[in-house]
Chain A
């Protein structure tokens, strides 16, 4: 009950900010339309709709980090969290209350991308449902990253770290915009040591129906999600104690 009340409040705060809607839903949509237009003029395999859409859905999740980190940092700054820490709410209420409402927003972002992709020629298939389902663990990684950043950074720092740095890292190291084989070497090795490209490769494999290819990508995603979640919970509880 307490957690749900808090989660409802967090969802309202995120959805009532027009900038969040513009970035969370509008920006990925614009990217699909723009890159599909480029693909129509200069065909590139990477930008074919069945390759592009899973990549954009994953890239769009980097805004979920921005949403959750901004909300937490602002709540810390405005002392709303301090007020709530003096109520009977538990640590679990706070962590779930910040995490759960962003999962449906992430799913909505992906659903909007797939709807646009239909309009641009993506074939309707049950694999889309599986791809949407597997967005949940990926979004958990991005949301946990937001919980972590929101627990240690100010709302201004969050803008720089999550808004600029993470979105760029998530774009460059994910193989969405260019084939990582084109760069190769250390860049490719670093990319494959991080979860972004694994998340994209996993979603591409699911959409293509190549379920055997989701490993080891799924393990990378789940491993990073678990690691970041543990760090995020630790840092959130630490800032809670430091009040």
Chain B
């Protein structure tokens, strides 16, 4: 079943077209990556899909709900882990999770159950009573993902989830993201080629707001006639491969 259907989605800021008639579809349970250099339109696409920014034209349907007409329903289906850690620094890890449960209207019992589940999944047990603002970048990212997952989203947007993390923290987060495959539809935006290649079922490469290619990492390498994904990305973005 199709989780996301994007039809001619366009966003213009005065004379700049941030996203230009983007059309693609993403299947349920798929881990889909959006790749591109700075200004490619990845974050704007995620902002439109998560109802943070209204498109200039076009539409997208998340589990058949329009991001323009059915905003409230779409918000009930999704969760976003933004580029910044987006945690409440003065609250403990547990209180941050409780905050998200509360804004989603969970009962006390359900909140407790979800917090236990997410704490276990993301290994947050040891830091549960620590203030979020005192945690390292890696732990804050874990908390950020836990806060996104706690609302049981059908579609999860991860915007640069491993940005600025060390190798070990990144590897740990990769494992967590892999464990979501098949259970949640994940849209990942990243600058890291190896991350997109290692984790994604399919990858879309964008440049100047336009979709250049959308396929599996293997097929993209094949089309770019190279064994290295990074090289394939450079060739496609530079227009060496059409």
Contacts and interface: CB of A to CB of B under 8 A. Distances in A.
B90 A83 contact: no
A6 B88 contact: no
14 contacts: A6-B99, A9-B88, A12-B95, A77-B84, A78-B84, A78-B86, A78-B87, A78-B89, A80-B86, A82-B86, A83-B147, A87-B104, A88-B75, A243-B52
A27 interface: no
Interface string B104-129: 11000000000000000000000000
A1 B91 contact: no
B90 A16 contact: yes
Contacts of A8: 102
A80 B95 contact: no
B192 to A, nearest CB: 20
A230 interface: no
Interface in B51-90: 51-54, 72, 75-76, 78-90
B51 A86 contact: yes
A93 B103 CA distance: 9
User: In which size bucket is the chain B interface?
Assistant: 20 to 34
A107 to B, nearest CB: 22
A148 B117 CA distance: 39
A17 interface: yes
A22 to B, nearest CB: 16
Interface of A: 1-2, 4-6, 8-9, 12-13, 16-17, 74, 77-80, 82-89, 93, 241, 243
B162 interface: no
Interface of B: 47, 50-54, 72, 75-76, 78-91, 95, 98-100, 102-105, 147-148, 151
Contact of B53 (A2, A12, A16, A243): A243
Given A87-B151, A243-B47, A80 B103 contact: no
Given A83-B82, A88-B72, 16 more contacts: A1-B102, A2-B102, A5-B99, A9-B88, A9-B91, A12-B95, A78-B84, A78-B85, A82-B84, A83-B80, A83-B148, A86-B50, A86-B51, A86-B75, A241-B54, A243-B47
A20 to B, nearest CB: 10
B82 A88 contact: no
Contacts of A17: 90
B228 to A, nearest CB: 33
A13 B90 contact: yes
Contacts of A5: 98-99, 102-103
A9 B89 contact: no
B75 A13 contact: no
B99 A82 contact: no
A82 B88 contact: no
Nearest to B153: A86
B90 A86 contact: no
A56 B78 CA distance: 48
Contacts of B54: 241
B89 to A, nearest CB: 7
B86 A88 contact: no
Contact of A86 (B52, B91, B105): B52
